[in-house]
Amino acid sequence: MSDPQVIIVGGGPVGLSLAIDLGQRGIRCLLLDKRPAPGRLPKMERCNARTMEHYRRLGLADIIRSAGFDTDLPMDVFICLEDVTRPPLVQHRYPSVEELKQRSHDVNDGTQPAEPYQLISQYTLEPLLRSVAEATPGVEVRFGHEVVDFAQDESGVTTRARTLDGDDLSLRSDYVVGCDGGSSTVRARLGVELRGESLLEMQQALFYCEDLFDRIPIGKGRHYHVADDQHSFLIVQDDTKHFSLHAVVDSPDDMPKLFERIVGMPIDYEILYTGSWTQRLMVADRYRDRRVLMAGDAVHLVIPTGGLGMNTGLGDAIDLAWKLAGTLQGWGGPGLLESYELERRPIGLRNVAASKKAATGRRAWRAMWKSDIADNSPDGARTRAELTRVADREQRWSNDLDGIERGYRYLDSPLIAHEVEEGPDPDSFTYTPTTWPGARLPNVWIDGSTAVQDRVGKGYTLLLLGNTDVALDDLTDAFAAHGAPFETVHVNSPQAREVYGHDLLLLRPDMHIVWRGSTPPSDPARLVNAATGADLSPTVDHP
């Protein structure tokens, strides 16, 4: 390709998804990753509902589901007494994907997503996204290319990379985005600090066992926590033949014996990997330095509790893609990229706090463990009862996060029309549908099978939900003056009108709400200036 407009450093799910989104928006990008190929460790294991909605918009939801955990399998979470052969202390039931899809259509009140969650291991997702990125026009993917330095000036960024063979390359682009993980080279070169706290030092092991999943007597699920003093936690990977085990033990050599103890029955297995990692809850001081931006683990480290790590990073990528596109295509004002950090860093802080709350809940029930927990004695019975009571309540913080996943709002963004009241709690773990400016558009099904979001293109969209006999020429002209993509979409659905509560909703390219009303905006030029980043002063709306 000719000089790329954007160089992406890092070929994990965040970097690859950013490349795909940019490519679909007509932006030339080059992705560089120092690894020779995508990794073979599980790392993330679940795309949450919001992430799957993003992948639906990118046309990838179905192929991700086909590659992941069978959609008819339950997603239950167990807390086990010593091993998986005994009756569990706690079983939290979570529906299969197919059950959730049916529920979404049956309820159709805005509370359910357009796409349920999907369990898929990172070592499955990365090669899939790589193949899609490589097939996307305008996208080039090069593994085995390590970025060693970069320098930026007023017109672009010069990036120096080195191949596995030792060849040095000098590359020029308009922007660079660091999606290169917790040990980010991009962040280090910018001198940006991660701040927060470290928790447990844990060992991780990956096992292959052909028939364990089918033989677990207590039932099929995705997570099997063990009530012990080692924080043992067994995760079923997407093919149900690989299992990752996390625990606090003295040595990686202890992991096979612990695995055998947790399984509690004779099995044949292969150990594929052992290694250590540290739980960290951290957020970067900055997400941007002029023409160099960062996303994903490069700017926030979220422990697996709550499953918010990759999913938060994917939200970064989606937010950044349309803003880079708008800037490079000329319709985005100076405030468009400026808003990236203003919007996404507070979400990083929020999600780190949510993960900490989930981890605190998990530690609360684990603190109830005593060595007599398995004893057939009054003391043992009391220990089991107390731990079960606490675990039944506190473990839910790790899995019942609908509000955290879908209820976030861009509270202080200059790109939205702020209303005078405060609006619903954006930090609640419970999701409440809202069209408050800055929020994600709640999902509603129309015509039985079409999600409202499927009617919306990749630019700005005005949804017309009620009285469509309104004059919109001024709004259309205001977007045209910027050259920004804009369309009006009429949704003839009483159900959608009832859920959304207004006749008119202005949406951004990422499906977040800019403005709402039942009559056209009083100052459309000012509203569009704000939405496209041409005006950095916040717009206050009085509906």
Give 239-265 pLDDT, tens digit per residue: 999 999 999 999 999 999 999 999 999
Instruction: Please answer whether residues 433 and 110 qualify as being in contact, where contact means their C-beta atoms are separated by less than 8 angstroms.
Output: yes
**Per-residue confidence (pLDDT) for residue 543, from 0 to 100:** 42
Identify the structural domains of the chain with CATH numbers, from first to last.
Answer: 6-69+116-195+282-354 (3.50.50.60), 356-402 (no CATH), 407-541 (3.40.30.120)
Q: Is the dihedral of CA 407, 411, 417, 419 positive or negative?
A: positive
Percent of the chain with pLDDT over 90: 90
59 has a pLDDT exceeding 50: yes
pLDDT tens column, 487-508: 999 999 999 999 999 999 999 9
d(CA 495, CA 499) in angstroms, rounded, equals 6
Q: Which residue do the tokens 């990422």 mark?
A: 510
**Per-residue confidence (pLDDT) for residue 303, from 0 to 100:** 86
**Per-residue confidence (pLDDT) for residue 493, from 0 to 100:** 92
Once rounded to an integer, what is the mean pLDDT over residues 283-298?
97
Torsion angle of the four alpha carbons 358, 359, 362, 367, in this order, in degrees rounded to the nearest 10:
-140
199 has a pLDDT exceeding 90: no
**Per-residue confidence (pLDDT) for residue 95, from 0 to 100:** 96
Rounded to 5 degrees, φ, ψ at 330 are 95, -5
Q: Name the pLDDT band for 392 (thresholds 50, 70, 90).
A: very high
Once rounded to an integer, what is the mean pLDDT over residues 262-280?
94
Q: Chain-wide mean pLDDT for the chain? A: 94
**Per-residue confidence (pLDDT) for residue 539, from 0 to 100:** 53
Instruction: Please answer whether residues 296 and 15 qualify as being in contact, where contact means their C-beta atoms are separated by less than 8 angstroms.
Output: yes
**Per-residue confidence (pLDDT) for residue 107, from 0 to 100:** 94
**Per-residue confidence (pLDDT) for residue 468, from 0 to 100:** 72
Instruction: Please answer whether residues 284 and 300 qualify as being in contact, where contact means their C-beta atoms are separated by less than 8 angstroms.
Output: yes
**Per-residue confidence (pLDDT) for residue 233, from 0 to 100:** 95
Q: Is the dihedral of CA 431, 434, 440, 446 positive or negative?
A: positive
**Per-residue confidence (pLDDT) for residue 438, from 0 to 100:** 97
